[in-house]
């Protein structure tokens, strides 16, 4: 908890390097601390170093104990930002498989599928998700949009 507070404090002060040092220290102390990897990767993304963000997320997959779906999701977004679309789809699919009730994961994966020309796969994913969660407006709206577009 202390390291989490320290990290937030350093970020609030715009001390990205200090925050990164604190996160690296936390990882050295506990290589399975998934949240530290996620925050470190996010700090690299914030300064425009997507390659280091990707490497950090891959390390998290090797060592992290929890939040593997969130790590795969972050890795998928990193791949999108780098134009690595096939890898992005694979990572987003894994995140969605691990946490099928996570609306953000499903929504983002459906958009990625649709944007890569896989409209039927996006529709199928959304139909299954809406069937499981009929009151999830975000998914229902996206499904309607995709049904009504050529």
Residue 22's alpha-carbon distances to 2, 11, 34, in angstroms, are 10, 11, 14
CA-atom Rg of the chain in angstroms? 17
Mean pLDDT in residue range 74-88: 97
* Percentage of residues of the chain with pLDDT beyond 70: 91
Tokens of 88: 């992005």
Residue spans of beta strands (DSSP E) within the chain: none
Give pLDDT, residue 135: 94
Band (5; pLDDT cuts 50, 70, 90): low
Mean pLDDT in residue range 16-20: 82
Residue 43's alpha-carbon distances to 65, 107, 115, 125, 130, in angstroms, are 21, 24, 27, 31, 34
pTM for the model stands at: 0.88
Band (59; pLDDT cuts 50, 70, 90): very high
4-13, 15-24, 29-38, 137-146 — most confident range: 137-146
């Amino acid at each position: 908890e202390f390291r989490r507070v320290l990290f937030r404090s350093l970020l609030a002060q715009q001390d990205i390097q200090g925050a990164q040092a604190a996160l690296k220290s936390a990882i050295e102390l506990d290589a399975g601390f998934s949240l530290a990897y996620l925050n470190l990767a996010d700090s690299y993304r914030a300064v425009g170093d997507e390659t280091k963000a990707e490497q950090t997320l891959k390390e998290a997959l090797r060592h992290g104990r929890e939040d593997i779906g969130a790590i795969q999701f972050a890795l998928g977004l990193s791949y999108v930002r780098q134009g690595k679309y096939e890898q992005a789809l694979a990572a987003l699919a894994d995140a969605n498989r691990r946490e099928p009730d996570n609306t953000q994961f499903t929504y983002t994966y459906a958009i990625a599928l649709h944007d890569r020309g896989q409209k039927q796969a996006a529709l199928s994913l959304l139909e299954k998700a809406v069937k499981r969660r009929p009151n999830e407006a975000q998914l229902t709206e996206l499904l309607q949009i995709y049904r009504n577009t050529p």
